[in-house]
Amino acid sequence: MADLFASNIETIRDGVVLLRGFADARVLLPLIDDIASVSPFRSMTVPGGKSMSVATTSCGARGWYTDARGYRYETIDPVTGRPWPAMPDAFRTLAIDAAARAGFVGFDPDSCLINRYAPGAKMGAHVDKDELDFNQPIVSVSLGLPARFKIADAVIPLSDGDVVVFGGPARKAKHGVSPVAAGALPYRFNLTFRRAGP
């Protein structure tokens, strides 16, 4: 399996690795539907009062959340009052395998933030800094509509199934997503795997 993907792995810059076509939407999209049936997608508000243009949900032991109180991880979904759905085995295996192929062996995600981008939605430049262990990388999986992912001084065009892993010297790099263009599919989904807790 390693040889199959070797030619599709590209180092963008120190600490940023792109794995083209690594994820299979046919496996992952039904699992997203299952998660959203328990913890529905919602439009969250950032501390400044603006609504995010993406709709979000989470799975795993911790879910990322934002409101007037600030950015944080929660073990209970504030919308449902119940724990977030468990992270599917296929999600966890994908994240661990992608991280290892990018050179980050031992990644153990406990959170997966799922962002749903309708055409026109975007993600402003930001740094993932609500986690406790910055030695663990971020694994970002792109499904559905294409997108342009910006990280540090690089712009990466992403297609369905592409995975970006960033860590080490790039772990605290600013990154974001340009407005998503309309296309043949209704949405772009992004799975962001992190180690949030101890």
Bridge partners of residue 16, in order along the sequence: 13, 166
Is 175 labeled as ligand-binding?
yes
Going by the DSSP 8-state scheme, the letter that residue 12 receives in this structure is E
Could you give the C-alpha distances from 188 to 83, 114, 118, in angstroms and in order?
Answer: 25, 10, 7
Label residue 63 exposed, middle or buried (CB < 10 Å: 0-12, 13-18, 19+).
Answer: buried
> Strands 16-19, 55-60: parallel, antiparallel or unpaired by DSSP?
unpaired
Q: Which of 15, 2, 5, 63 is nearest to 169 (CA)?
A: 15
Q: Which long-range contacts (CB under 8 A, 24 or more apart) does 65-73 make?
A: 71/46, 71/47, 71/130, 72/130, 73/111, 73/130, 73/131, 73/196, 73/197
On whether 133 is known to bind a ligand per the annotation, the reply is no
126 is annotated as contributing to ligand binding: yes
Burial of 130 (0-12, 13-18, 19+ CB in 10 A): middle
Which residues sit in the known binding site?
126, 128, 175
Residues comprising the binding site for Fe cation?
A: 126, 128, 175
